[in-house]
Amino acid sequence: MKIDILTIFPEFFREVFDFGIIRRAKLAKIVEINIHDLRDFTTDKHRMVDDRPFGGGDGMVLNAQPIFDAIESLTGTCERANYPKGTKIILLSPQGRVFNQSVAREFADEANHLVLICGRYEGVDERVNDALVTDEISIGDYVLSGGESAAIVLVDAITRLLPHALGSETSAANDSFSDGLLDCPHYTRPADFRGMRVPEVLLNGNHAEIEKWRKEKALEKTQKIRKDLLKGANRQQSTVISQHKTDN
C-alpha cells in the first residue's frame, strides 16, 4: 500500500508514523507513506495555496491548481475516470462519509494507492471534489482545525489491517469492533494494587469461565455506553451478538 498525504503543514507529520505498528509496517515494506507540501505544486512566484471565496465570506479556500497538479504527478492523471485500478483519492472534510472500521477495511482491501488531501480553512475549491476525489471522509462529528489529524487516524486504522502488519501477539480479529462489541477489562500484576483486587475469576485458571466472564463484561460495557453498537447498523459480524439476548 502506498499512501501519499497532501498538506500545507508537512511538519505536522514529522514523527507521527515512526512508532509501533506503523513504523514496523514501513520497515517491512507493507506500507510506504509520503508527505507532500502542497506549496511544492504551486506555479506562481508567491507559492499561493489559497484565496478568498467567490461570493464573499470569512476564511480562505484551498486553490484547485496545486491539488490538480499534485494528483496528476502522483497518479499520472487528473481525471477520476483514468486513475490506475486500486487508487483512491480521499478528501478529508467535515462533509464526508463518517469513517469507521468498515470503511477502514474497505480501503485496506480494495486499494493499493491512497492519496489523502488534507482540507483547511473554510474548505477546498469544489472542483477538486467534482473532478478528482473518489471518497470524501470525515472522522466524526466534531470540529477539527484541518484534515491533518484525520489523515493520521486513517493511516493508523488502515495500516494495521494490511496483511502481515500485526505481529502474532496482536490480532485484528480480536480487536474491539471486529466482533461489534467493546473490549472487556484487562488486569496485570499485582493482583492487589492499593487494595483494589483483580476479579477472582481471572486468577483461577479456568479458561472456559474466563472466556464467559470476558464476553459478559464486553456485552455489559457495550450495553451501558454504546447501545448503538448492538443495534446492527455498524455490525460487521452478526454471529457473536446474536448469541446474546439483549434488551434494546
Q: Is 38 in the site for ligand 9D3 (CB under 6 A)?
A: no
3-class DSSP string for the chain: CEEEEEECCHHHHCCCCCCHHHHHHHHCCCCEEEEEEHHHHCCCCCCCCEECCCCCCCCCEECHHHHHHHHHHHHCCCCHHHCCCCEEEEEEEEEEEECCHHHHHHHHHHCCEEEEEECCCCEECHHHHHHCCCEEEECCCCCCCCCHHHHHHHHHHHHCCCCCCCCCCCCHHHCCCCCCCCCCCCCCCCCEECCEECCHHHHCCCHHHHHHHHHHHHHHHHHHHCHHHHCCCCCCCHHHHHCCCCCC
In the complex, minimum distance from the CB of residue 98 to ligand 9D3, in angstroms, rounded to a whole number? 8
Which of 94, 156, 183, 220 does the annotation list as catalytic? 94
160 is a catalytic site residue: yes
Q: Which of 122, 135, 156, 183 is catalytic?
A: 122
123: left (phi over 0), alpha (psi -120 to 50) or beta: left
Whether residue 175 lies in the annotated active site:
yes
Q: Which entry of 37, 72, 106, 175 is annotated as an active-site residue?
A: 175
| Residue closer to ligand 9D3 (CB basis): 58 or 247 | 58
Residue number with CB closer to ligand 9D3 (71 or 91): 91
Q: Which is nearer to ligand 9D3, 10 or 94 (CB)?
A: 94
What is the residue whose three cell numbers read 514529522?
14
Q: In angstroms, what is the minimal distance from the CB of 163 to ligand 9D3?
A: 27
Q: Is 84 a known active-site residue?
A: no
| Site size for ligand 9D3 (CB under 6 A) | 15
Give yes or no: 199 in active site: no
**Shortest gap between Cβ of 205 and ligand 9D3 (angstroms)?**
45
Catalytic residue among 50, 120, 160, 235: 160
Positions 104 through 163 that interact with ligand 9D3 (CB under 6 A):
119, 122-123, 138-140, 142-144, 146-147, 150
The residues, ordered by sequence, that sit 6+ positions from 228 with a Cβ below 8 Å of its Cβ are: 234
Shortest spacing between CB 109 and ligand 9D3, in angstroms: 22
Residues 60-99 contacting ligand 9D3, CB under 6 A: 92-94
- Residues identified as active-site: 94, 122, 160, 175
Which parts of this chain interact with ligand 9D3 (CB under 6 A)?
92-94, 119, 122-123, 138-140, 142-144, 146-147, 150
